Each structure stands twice: as C-alpha cells, then as structure tokens.
Amino acid sequence: MFIYPIYVLAPLALAAFIALLSGVIDKKSGLVKYIALAAVVASFAITCGIIAQGSGIYELRWFSFGGIAFNITVSTFLLNKILLFLVGLIGIAIFIYSIGYMDEPENQNRYYFEMIIFTLAMMLFAISANFISLFIAWELLGITSYLLIGFWYAKAKVSEAARAAITTILIGDISMLAAIVLFFNLYHTFNFYTLIGMAPSPLAVFPLTFLLIAVFTKSAQFPFSNWLQLAMEGPTPVSAFLHSSTMVKAGVFILILLLPLFAQSHMLWVLLAVGLITAVFGAMNALSENHVKKILAYSTMEDLGLMIVALGLNAVYAAVALFIVQTFYKALLFLSAGYVMKANHDREDIHKIAVNSRLVSFSMLAAALSLAGLFPLSGFFGKTALGIAARPNILVYTVLLGIDVLSALYIFRWFFVLKKKKKESTTVRFSKLPMELGIGIVLALLIISSLAMYFAVNYREISILRINYTENINDIAIETFLISAGVAAAWLFYRKRDIKALSAMEKNPGIAGRILYNNVFIWSAYLIVAGIIAAAANAVFYFDRAFNRFTYMLGKLALLAGDALSAFENGEVNAYIAVFAAGLVFLVIFFIIK
C-alpha cells in the first residue's frame, strides 16, 4: 500500500491544532499530553509504513512566481528513513517521559504544542529533498527550539539563554538563505539530488561556505558552540530530544546529503579542522563542568564534532554509524539526568545530588559505557569505525585517541560522582512511573541497537559500516585499552575520593582546570569580535554624522548665496545695468588674459 511521505505530518498537525485550541478553552486540561502521545505514535506507525515501501522522490505543487516553481519535495531514501525512524522512536519515549516530568498543569498545553511542532519540523526535515522543504523545517526548528529553551521565561537566566540560542541560530538562518539563493543562481534548481548530479562549478565554494556557517550554528560547532550549554535551561525532555535525534543533528544530516559537493570543491579539510577543534573543546569543558546537564551538552558538542570529522575524512559510513548510535545513549543520559534532578529538588551540581534508583543507575552505566565506546554496546561500533577511518592520518588518529581518553574520563566522572552517597541529598515525591517507563524504553532501544550493530558487522552484506573489524583488531585493541585506562583513572580520581574533598578540589582547580574550562576563552573571543563590530559601527556612525554636517553646511552656504543674490533682484534697472557692465568687463579681462 502506497503512503505519501507527507502524511507522516498529519497526526502531528492535528494534535498541534487541538493543543492550541485546548490551551484557549482549558489551560489546565490534562488530556493534551495523551493527545500528543497518540499523535507521535500515529506518526511513527506511518513512518513504519513509509520504511516498508520503496524509495523515491515525491513533489507537491505549492506556487510559482516569475517562472520559478516553489515545490515541497520529499524523498524516502535510506538516510531519510533512518532519521525519520529515529525521530519517531525516540519521540514516543520522550513524550511518555514528559507525562511524569511536566507536573505543572498550567504549562502543559503550551509545552505539548511546542513539542509537537518541534517533532513535526524534524520529521519534515528528515524527508526534505529540496531547499524549499528544508528551509521551512529549518525555520520551524529554530523558532520552536527558542520557545522550548526559554520555556520557563520568567527566570532571567532562562530568557537570556533563549536569546543567546536564537541569536546564534539566526546567523545560521541568514547564511542558509544566502546559500539557497546562490545555489539557485548557480544551478537553477532547489533539488538536492539534481545538485549532486550536476557538473561541479568553481563558484560553488561561495554557497557551500554559507551552508557551512548555517550547519556550524545549528550543530553547535566551533566557534558557534556556546549556545548549546546555555540551552540546558530548558526542560530536560527538550534537552534529550534536541541532543539525541533532532535539531543539533540537522546540520550533520544535510552535510551527509551534500557531501559530494564539498568533496568536489575541496572543502573537506574545513570539516575536519572544525570538527576536531569542536570535539576537543567539548571533551575538555565536559571534564571541568559540574552542572549535571551541561556536562552532557558538552559531550554532544564532542559527538557532533566527531561526526563532522568523519565527514571530513570522507568516511560517510562512520558518520552514519555515529549518527545512529549517539541517538540512544544521549537520550538515555539526559532522561536519567532529569530523573536524578527531579529526585533531588531540581539541584544541578553533580556534587550535591545522588542517584536513588537501580533502573536509573543501570541506565546511566549502560549509556556511559556506550558513549565511552566500550564493547559490546553500540557506541563501540561508531567510535571504532571513526578510528579505523582516521588511521591513515596519524595526526588525526592521535588526536582522536586523546579525545577517547577524555570522553571516558568525563562521562565516568559524571557517573561516579552522581553515584556517591551525599548527606544533603534527599528524595522527593514525583511521578516516577512515566519517567521510568521512558527511561526503560530508551535503555531497551540501546541494547537492541547494540545487538543490531553487532549483527550488521558480522553480516557485512547488510552493513552500513563496510568495515572488516578483524583486519583492524590491533587498532581496536589500542583504542579499547586507552578507553579502559580512562575509565580506571576516573574510578581512582572520582570514585575513591571523599565527596567534600573532591568538591573542594574542583572549586579551586588551578591552572589545569582553567585550561580545561576553555569557554572563558571562547567568550573572550566573542567579546573581541563584538568589540571590533562595535568599533566599526561607531566609525560608520561618526562618518555618517560628519557627512550629514557637511551636507548641512553645503545647504546652508547655498541658502546664504541665494539670499545674497536675491538682494540684486530689487526691480531697479540701473542696478541691473551695473551688474551687466561688471560681468562684461570681467569677460573682456578673462579673454584678454587667456
């Protein structure tokens, strides 16, 4: 049975309309959360139908202007299906978790309306096959992420975080629009697959540069990465959704689709350099941060950086593997963090909160092992795929091994410190069952994905990895040893130490801590750039004011000259004759001299 791909948006659009309407009629209605969940489940059912049918490109006529057709074009190729499946699957777990997490009746309608639109935007993005569809989804993702990050807008730091996020994202939006205009001017098409099939042009570097800026802002790459840790002021389910399968990976997704254009224009080195810098900065900051969610935000920076490094190495299979496996362990980490915060009066410092649930403890351990890249969990296959792809470039390979050690250190620091018993930590009453159910679903998905990756490796004819792991066993052994050493070091430094001594040490970290927490340097760089822009703006202002004064003086002189000349227009013939005679004498003298 044929299913038009755009139908996947219908349940979400209907649920968003109901949520908006119920918000007007009854702001404290509890029905909207179940409507939202039903919509996500229905969309996922349609997604499964789309996955079951063949691949293709489908076009929906929208409008035309000046001979240019603006169409909504969608596709159902393998990559589209993967992202659509991940969004729908994780969306169900997130919405179930939200039923327990969002315990404020007066805010539920607004929350679920925004979350539904956010999900709808990501699903549209997943199936977009041209720049028109993509830009609509891109803008919806930007505005809904702004609304969700600033959900508790009454708090000053929340509204500041939302403004910081939307300011950075807006830079990307303008760059994306510029890229679209330049692409169309160059190739006369909005369709991705038509673009890829056309002959390369030396001018393609210009739209590709703008596209990179848009990708780097949306996927929190250096130097546009700082908004991501500020976004932790939003509700935890939003953070889990945003970091695992939605907005921040949108940039990586579009890079995977259009990677041939970057390869043709010899721009892969830019991806490699920016990805490495971002991954190093993310790992270093995660190791020095104490906020339970910001540590995970920095780990997302690292994950995204590694995906872009894989694309810079032209190892699409490694990027896709990381893209898939990161979804499950990152969602599980954030959902576990939200549960722990709820159980500890919404405290945020890892030194002041503790885990009091066996399910959450096990989930945190499984997700941490996967993020670190240890066998047999799915993160291992993504990390080793990237390591094998980087092996020919010894410098990149060495840096990646260092990042692996840092990853193991920071994520097990996070785990071991949270696992310590703390006297000031107290458990509170909250809706545990829906939250535990959401965590349990994602934990099961993590285990299933690990098994799937294992079988995909052993049956390479169905594998997206295309890697013979047995031929690279030495490299895998080195990587596993270093990761294990990082875990052991975290156990010695953070598990064995007394919590008060550990907290006191981290409050006065010394030079090493200041180097690790390099966000201060990035913010300083922002201030320098802002200072340069402000100085340029002031220079333009003073020039504009001086120019206005100059033109004003010219006008004043013209008026004075006019007033002086008007004195001669008095109606006296003798005066006119005198002026005429003076002019005649002047002309005679002028021609004699000449």
> pLDDT digits over 79-124, tens only?
888 889 999 999 999 999 988 888 776 778 888 888 999 999 999 9
pLDDT of residue 462: 43
Least confident interval from 241-250, 381-390, 468-477: 468-477
Assess contact for 140 and 198: CB atoms under 8 A.
no
Q: Is the pLDDT of residue 509 over 70?
A: no
Which range marks the domain in which residue 435 is found?
Answer: 269-334+346-511
Q: Is there a single domain that holds both residue 419 and residue 479?
A: yes
pLDDT at residue number 157: 84
Distance CA 157, CA 163 (A): 10
Residues 6+ apart with CB under 8 A from 386: 306, 309, 310, 313, 315, 318, 321, 322, 400
* Mean of pLDDT values over 467-479: 75
68 in a structural domain: no
Model confidence pLDDT, tens digit, residues 287-305: 888 888 899 989 999 999 9
Give the Cβ contact number of residue 112 at 10 Å: 28
Report if residue 54 sits inside a domain. no
- Considering the domain boundaries, does residue 381 fall inside one? yes
Quickly count: other Cβ atoms within 10 Å of residue 160's Cβ: 13
Same domain, 505 and 572: no
Is residue 470 over pLDDT 80? Answer: no
Q: Is the pLDDT of residue 214 over 80?
A: yes
What is the sign, positive or negative, of the torsion defined by CA atoms of 32, 33, 38, 44?
positive
**What residues are paired with 64 via a beta bridge?**
69
Q: What's the pLDDT score for residue 21? A: 78
Tell whether 532 and 507 lie within a shared domain.
no
Q: Are residues 318 and 462 in the same domain?
A: yes
State how far the Cα of 551 lies from the Cα of 557, in Å rounded to an integer. 10
pLDDT reading at 461 higher than 90: no
Helix (H, G, I), strand (E, B) or coil at 72: strand
- Whether the pLDDT of residue 423 is over 60: the answer is no
Beta-sheet strands, E only, within 177-261: none
Q: How far apart are CA 124 and CA 380, in angstroms?
A: 30
Angle subtended by helix axes 268-288 and 205-218, to nearest 10: 20
Looking at the structure, tell me whether residues 484 and 559 fall in a common domain.
Answer: no
C-beta of residue 36 within 8 angstroms of C-beta of residue 95:
yes
Q: Is the pLDDT of residue 370 over 50?
A: yes
Whether residues 436 and 352 share a domain: the answer is yes
CB atoms inside a 10 Å sphere around CB 547? 10
Q: Which of the two residues, 531 and 37, has the higher pLDDT score?
A: 37
Burial class (CB in 10 A: 0-12, 13-18, 19+), 119: buried
**pLDDT value at position 496?**
63
Rounded to an integer, the average pLDDT of 419-442 is 75
For residues 322 and 455, state if they share a domain. Answer: yes
Radius of gyration of the chain (CA): 30
- d(CA 180, CA 91) in angstroms, rounded, equals 30
> Distance between CA 15 and CA 282 in Å, rounded?
37
Report whether pLDDT(420) > 80: no
Same domain, 401 and 316: yes
Model confidence pLDDT, tens digit, residues 8-20: 888 888 888 888 8
Q: What is the pLDDT of residue 527?
A: 67
pLDDT of residue 274: 92
Please check whether residue 519 lies inside any domain of the structure: no
- Percent pLDDT > 90 in the chain is 16
Instruction: Provide the number of structural domains found in the chain.
Output: 2
Per-residue pLDDT band at 424 (split at 50, 70, 90):
low
DSSP notation for 33-61: HHHHHHHHHHHHHHHHHHHHS---EEEEE
Q: Quick one: average pLDDT of 452-476?
A: 66
Average pLDDT over residues 338-356: 83
Measured CA angle at 151 (ends 22, 365), to 5 deg: 110
The pTM score is 0.84
pLDDT band at 442 (very low <50, low <70, confident <90, very high): very high
- Residue 216 or residue 21, greater confidence: 216
Q: Lowest-confidence range among 34-48, 203-217, 237-251?
A: 237-251
Q: Both 300 and 413 in a single domain?
A: yes
- Strands 57-65 and 68-75, by their bridges, are antiparallel
Average pLDDT score over residue span 318-330? 89
pLDDT at 495 over 90: no
- What is the rounded average pLDDT of the residues 253-258? 90
Q: What is the largest CA-CA distance in the chain?
A: 114
Q: Is residue 556 domain-resident?
A: yes
Q: Is residue 186 part of a domain?
A: no
Q: Kindly report which listed range (142-151, 212-221, 568-577) carries the lowest average pLDDT score.
A: 568-577
Q: Mean per-residue pLDDT for 184-194?
A: 86
Locate 166 and state its tokens: 């939307």
Q: Which residue has the higher pLDDT, 459 or 384?
A: 384
pLDDT band at 431 (very low <50, low <70, confident <90, very high): confident
pLDDT of residue 222: 83
Domain-embedded: residue 317: yes
The first and second tokens of residue 274, run together, are 């920016």
**Domain boundary, last residue among 511, 541, 564:** 511
Same domain, 404 and 501: yes
Question: 250 with 141: CB under 8 angstroms?
Answer: yes
Is 283 a domain residue? Answer: yes
pLDDT for position 60 = 80
Question: 481, 511, 541: which is the final residue of a domain?
Answer: 511
Q: Give the domain-ending residue among 478, 511, 544.
A: 511
Q: Is the pLDDT of residue 367 over 60?
A: yes
- Give the DSSP H/E element, type plus range, for residue 580: helix 573-593
Distance of CA 138 to the CA centre of its chain: 11
What is the per-residue pLDDT for 189? 84
Res. 507: pLDDT tops 70: no
The mean pLDDT value of the chain amounts to 82
428 in the same domain as 463? yes
Please determine, for residue 396, whether its predicted confidence score (pLDDT) is greater than 50. Answer: yes
Q: For the ranges 7-11, 143-147, 309-313, which has the lowest average pLDDT?
A: 7-11
510 pLDDT above the threshold of 60: no
Give pLDDT tens digits for 26-45.
666 678 888 888 999 999 99
Percent of the chain with pLDDT over 70: 85
Task: Specify the pLDDT at position 96.
Answer: 92
Whether residue 288 sits in one domain with residue 372: yes
